[in-house]
C-alpha cells in the first residue's frame, strides 16, 4: 500500500527483502518485478503521491508539488542550465513528455568497447524493450492529436528532405491536453505512477511517500538496510518521525543527481573516485517561429515528432505543441517585447534540439550545503557548443521551409532571424558558450557509471556496486554516457535486467541472505490509514 508521511504517527522499523530508494524510471520497474517474484519490497519516495484528479493543468502548482526545487534546479557553470527533476511517486516519469525510444545502437557498441560492458547485448535489450513497449502501450504519436505545430515542422523537414517522423510514446488514447510535464490529466500517459507502482502494490509492495532515505546501512562490506526521515507534506521539512529498514538487498534509484549525492555524503562505494563524475545531461536549445496563420496551440502533444537526420553527429530535434508558460520562457525577450509576442502565441511554434555530449561534462558534488542539497556543476564546451548552434540553425531552416516569417533564437546577437540572410549570418558566426541563454536539459545520466573495470566504474553490469555487496544502483546514473535519445525506456530496461540479478541472489539465498532481515516481516509501529 501507499503510506503517506501524514499517516505515520511514530518511528517505524521494517524488515524486508528489498529496500528501494526512489520510485521513478529505475525504482518503479524494479519494485514491480521483485514484488511479483514473491519478494517483500519496500520503496521510499521523497515526493508525495498524486493522481490524475490532482493534475489540474496549473503549471505553478505542478512545479511546486511535483518537482525538486519547484522545477528550478540549475547547473552551475557556463552557461547556467535549467535541469528540472521530478520529485513525486513515479519520479520524473510522472512529469515527463512520454517519448519512449530505444537507445541508439552505436551507443551500445561504444559502451561495450569503451566501458567493457560485453554482457549488455543488443538482443537482450531488444527483448526487454519489446516487453516494455507492450506493457506501456508504446505507439507513434497520432498526427490527428499531435497539433498543427508538429505537422507544420514536419512539413518543413520533409521539404528539406530530412529524415523525420512521429515519436513513439507511452501514451494510451492520448487526448492531446498538451500538459504531459504537469502530470497527465487524462491518465493516458503510462508513466510509472500509473503502471509499475500500482502493479507493485498489487503484489504486496509498500511505498512510503514524503520519506527521504538519508543513509545506507553497511555491515562487513554488505548493505543491510536504510535509514530514512519522514517529511511534512506541506513544508518538506522533517516531521520528526523516522523509518529504519533492514533489507537483504538495497537499491539506490534516486536519479542521477540524488543517487551520487547520497553516496558522497556517506563516502560510500567510491573507491574508483567516479561517484558523481561523468555527468551527461543532453543540453537542449530551442527555436521559436512566428507564422501568419494560426497553428492552434495549446492543444496537442508537447513532444510529438522528431528529426534524426544528424543523430549520428549527436543532434536530435524533438518537439510539438508546448503550453504558453513554457513557450514564454523560450523567447529571448522580456517585458513589453515578450508580451507583444505572447499575444501571438496561437501563431507560433517552438521546437527543441538536444545535443549528445562528446566534450562537455559535469559533476554532482556534496558541497556541505545544509539540508539535502546536491550541487551540480556542468561546462558546455568544445564541439558541443558547435552542435548546439548547428541544432538552432537546423531548426530555423526547417521553420523557414515550413513558411515561418520570423524565427527567434536564444543565441546572443541572433535573437530574431527574418530569413535566409540572417540564417547564413548565424551559420557563419563564431558562437561562444556565453552567447547561449536559457538552455535547459532533461536527462541527467552517468554519475555512477556501469563498467567492466572497478577502477573506472561504480557498478558492475548487474548494477551491483563494486564496493558494497548487496547495494545496487538502478537509475539514470548507471548509463555510462548519453544514449543518444530520451533515456526513460533504457533506464527501465536496465532496471528489469537488474531485477533478474537481485531475484537470483535472493532466491539462491546467497551468503548472508536472511541474516539481517528476519522473515516474516517484523513491523514495530504500524502506520495509520492507507
Ligand X SMILES: Cc1cc2nc3c(=O)[nH]c(=O)nc-3n(C[C@H](O)[C@H](O)[C@H](O)COP(=O)(O)OP(=O)(O)OC[C@H]3O[C@@H](n4cnc5c(N)ncnc54)[C@H](O)[C@@H]3O)c2cc1C
Closest to ligand X by CB, 62 vs 315, is 62
Q: How far is the CB of 11 from ligand X (least distance, A)?
A: 17
How many whole angstroms separate alpha carbon 117 and alpha carbon 340? 53
User: Helix, strand or coil for residue 512?
Assistant: coil
User: Taking CB under 6 A as the rule, which mask of x and - marks residues 36-55 in contact with ligand X?
Assistant: --------xxxx--------
Question: With respect to ligand X, which residue has the nearer C-beta, 45 or 397?
Answer: 45
Distance CA 519, CA 528 (A): 22
Distance separating alpha carbons of residues 77 and 50, to the nearest angstrom? 34
Residue 400 as a binder of ligand X (CB under 6 A): the answer is no
Looking at the Cβ atoms of 229 and 347, the one nearer to ligand X is 229
Q: Which of 39, 327, 443, 461 is catalytic?
A: 443
Per the annotation, the verdict on 443 as an active-site residue is yes
* Shortest separation between residue 330's beta carbon and ligand X, angstroms: 13
Q: Which of residues 44 and 279 has its CB atom nearest to ligand X in the complex?
A: 44
Q: Is 95 in the site for ligand X (CB under 6 A)?
A: yes
How many Cβ atoms from other residues are within 10 Å of residue 489's Cβ? 25
> Which whole-number Å values give the CA distances from 493 to 120, 311, 337, 484, in the listed order?
11, 22, 46, 16
Kindly state the cell numbers that stand for 40.
517483500
Distance CA(263)–CA(365), nearest Å, equals 10
Q: Binding ligand X by CB under 6 A: which of 96, 311, 321, 347?
A: 96
Interaction of residue 280 with ligand X, rule CB under 6 A: no
| Main-chain dihedrals φ then ψ at residue 353, nearest 5 degrees | -125, 125
Binder among 491, 493, 494, 496 for ligand X (CB under 6 A): 491
Closest distance to ligand X from the beta carbon of 46 (Å)? 4
Rg (CA), the chain: 23
Distance of closest approach, residue 456 Cβ to ligand X, in angstroms? 21
CB nearer to ligand X: give 297 or 423: 297
Residue 22 in contact with ligand X, rule: CB under 6 A = yes
Q: Which of 253, 394, 402, 417 binds ligand X (CB under 6 A)?
A: 253
91 is an interface residue for ligand X by CB under 6 A: yes
Residue 180 or 394 having the CB closest to ligand X:
180
Q: DSSP states of 179-226 as a string?
A: -GGG--TTS-B--GGGTHHHHHHHTT-EEEESEEEEEEEEETTEEEEE
CB of 95 to ligand X, least distance (A): 6
Q: Where are the alpha helices (DSSP H) in 344-465?
A: 383-401, 420-428
- Does the footprint of ligand X cover residue 256 (CB under 6 A)? yes
Rounded least distance, CB 256 to ligand X, Å: 6
Site for ligand X in 201-240 (CB under 6 A): 212-213
Nearer to ligand X, 348 or 354 (CB): 354
Give the residue with the Cβ less far from ligand X, 97 or 321.
97
Per-position b or e across 77-99, b if 16+ CB within 10 A of its CB:
bebebbbbbbbbbbbbbbbbbbb
Are 231 and 8 in contact, with CB atoms under 8 Å apart?
no
Residue 478 CB, nearest distance to ligand X (Å)?
9
Contact positions with ligand X (CB under 6 A) in 68-87: 84-87
Write out the H or E segment, with its range, that includes residue 46.
none
* Cα three-residue angle 365-367-371, rounded to 5 degrees: 105
Q: How far is the CB of 318 from ligand X (least distance, A)?
A: 8
Euclidean distance between CA atoms 356 and 485, whole angstroms: 8
**Among residue numbers 427 through 466, which ones bind ligand X (CB under 6 A)?**
442-443
* Options 3, 207, 254, 459; binder of ligand X; rule CB under 6 A: 254
Q: Based on CB atoms, which residue is closest to ligand X, 7 or 416?
A: 7
Using an 8 Å Cβ cutoff, are 300 and 320 in contact? yes
Examine residue 497 and tell whether it contacts ligand X (CB under 6 A).
Answer: no
Per the CB < 8 A criterion, the answer to whether 91 and 44 are in contact is: no
Say which DSSP state 268 is in.
Answer: -
Q: Which stretch binds ligand X (CB under 6 A): 17-25, 230-238, 320-328, 459-467?
A: 17-25
Q: Indicate the residue whose CB is closest to ligand X.
A: 24
Using CA atoms in the order 445, 448, 454, 459, what is the torsion angle rounded to 10 degrees? -100
Task: Count the Cβ atoms, other than its own, within 10 Å of residue 131.
Answer: 13
Cell numbers given for 12: 517505524
Q: Which stretch binds ligand X (CB under 6 A): 97-105, 232-240, 403-411, 428-436?
A: 97-105
Catalytic (active-site) positions: 443
Binding site for ligand X (CB under 6 A): 21-27, 44-47, 84-88, 91-93, 95-99, 181, 212-213, 253-256, 258, 262, 303, 442-443, 475-476, 486-488, 491
Amino acid at each position: 500500500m501507499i503510506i503517506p508521511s501524514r499517516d505515520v504517527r511514530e518511528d517505524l522499523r521494517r524488515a524486508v527483502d528489498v529496500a528501494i530508494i526512489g520510485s521513478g524510471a529505475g525504482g518503479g520497474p524494479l519494485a514491480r518485478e521483485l514484488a511479483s517474484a514473491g519478494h517483500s519490497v519496500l520503496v521510499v519516495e521523497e515526493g508525495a503521491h498524486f493522481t490524475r484528479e490532482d493534475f489540474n493543468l496549473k503549471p505553478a502548482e505542478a512545479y511546486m508539488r511535483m518537482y525538486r526545487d519547484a522545477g528550478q534546479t540549475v547547473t552551475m557553470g557556463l552557461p547556467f542550465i535549467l535541469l528540472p527533476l521530478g520529485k513525486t511517486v513515479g519520479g520524473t516519469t510522472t512529469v515527463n513528455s512520454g517519448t519512449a525510444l530505444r537507445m541508439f545502437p552505436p551507443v551500445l557498441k561504444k559502451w561495450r568497447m569503451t566501458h567493457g560492458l560485453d554482457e549488455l547485448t543488443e538482443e537482450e535489450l531488444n527483448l526487454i524493450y519489446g516487453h516494455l513497449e507492450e506493457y506501456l502501450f508504446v505507439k507513434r504519436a497520432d498526427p490527428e492529436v499531435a497539433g498543427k505545430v508538429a505537422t507544420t515542422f514536419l512539413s518543413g523537414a520533409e521539404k528539406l528532405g530530412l529524415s523525420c517522423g512521429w515519436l513513439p510514446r507511452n501514451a494510451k488514447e492520448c487526448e492531446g491536453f498538451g500538459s504531459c510535464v504537469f502530470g497527465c490529466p487524462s491518465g493516458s500517459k503510462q508513466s510509472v505512477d500509473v503502471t509499475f507502482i500500482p502493479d507493485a502494490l498489487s503484489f504486496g509492495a509498500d511505498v512510503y511517500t514524503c520519506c527521504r532515505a538519508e543513509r545506507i546501512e553497511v555491515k562487513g562490506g554488505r548493505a543491510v538496510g536504510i535509514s530514512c526521515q519522514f517529511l511534512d507534506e506541506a513544508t518538506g521539512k522533517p516531521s520528526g518521525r523516522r523509518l529504519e529498514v533492514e533489507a537483504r538487498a538495497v537499491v539506490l534509484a534516486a536519479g542521477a543527481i540524488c543517487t551520487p549525492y547520497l553516496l558522497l555524503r556517506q563516502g560510500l562505494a567510491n573507491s574508483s573516485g567516479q561517484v558523481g563524475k561523468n555527468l551527461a545531461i543532453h543540453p537542449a536549445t530551442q527555436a521559436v517561429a512566428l507564422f501568419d496563420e494560426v497553428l492552434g496551440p495549446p492543444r496537442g502533444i508537447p513532444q510529438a515528432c522528431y528529426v534524426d537526420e544528424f543523430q549520428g553527429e549527436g543532434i536530435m530535434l524533438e518537439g510539438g505543441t508546448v503550453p504558453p508558460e513554457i513557450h514564454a520562457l523560450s523567447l529571448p525577450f522580456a517585458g513589453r517585447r515578450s508580451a507583444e509576442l505572447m499575444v501571438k502565441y496561437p501563431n507560433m511554434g517552438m521546437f527543441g534540439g538536444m545535443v549528445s555530449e562528446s566534450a562537455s561534462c559535469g559533476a554532482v558534488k556534496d558541497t556541505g550545503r545544509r539540508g539535502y542539497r546536491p550541487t551540480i556543476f556542468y561546462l558546455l564546451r568544445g564541439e558541443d557548443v558547435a552542435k548546439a548552434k548547428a541544432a538552432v540553425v537546423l531548426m530555423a531552416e526547417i521553420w523557414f521551409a515550413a513558411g515561418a516569417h520570423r524565427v527567434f533564437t536564444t543565441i546572443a546577437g541572433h535573437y530574431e532571424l527574418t530569413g535566409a540572410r540572417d540564417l547564413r549570418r548565424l551559420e557563419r558566426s563564431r558562437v561562444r558558450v556565453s552567447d547561449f541563454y536559457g538552455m535547459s536539459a532533461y536527462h541527467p545520466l552517468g554519475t555512477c557509471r556501469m563498467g567492466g573495470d572497478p577502477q573506472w566504474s561504480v557498478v558492475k553490469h548487474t548494477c551491483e556496486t563494486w564496493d558494497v555487496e548487496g547495494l545496487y544502483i538502478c537509475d539514470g546514473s548507471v548509463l555510462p554516457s548519453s544514449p543518444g535519445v530520451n533515456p526513460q525506456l533504457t533506464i527501465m530496461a536496465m532496471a528489469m535486467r537488474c531485477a533478474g540479478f537481485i531475484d537470483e541472489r535472493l532466491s539462491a539465498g546467497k551468503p548472508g541472505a536472511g541474516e539481517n532481515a528476519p522473515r516474516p516481516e517484523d513491523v514495530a509501529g504500524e502506520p495509520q490509514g492507507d
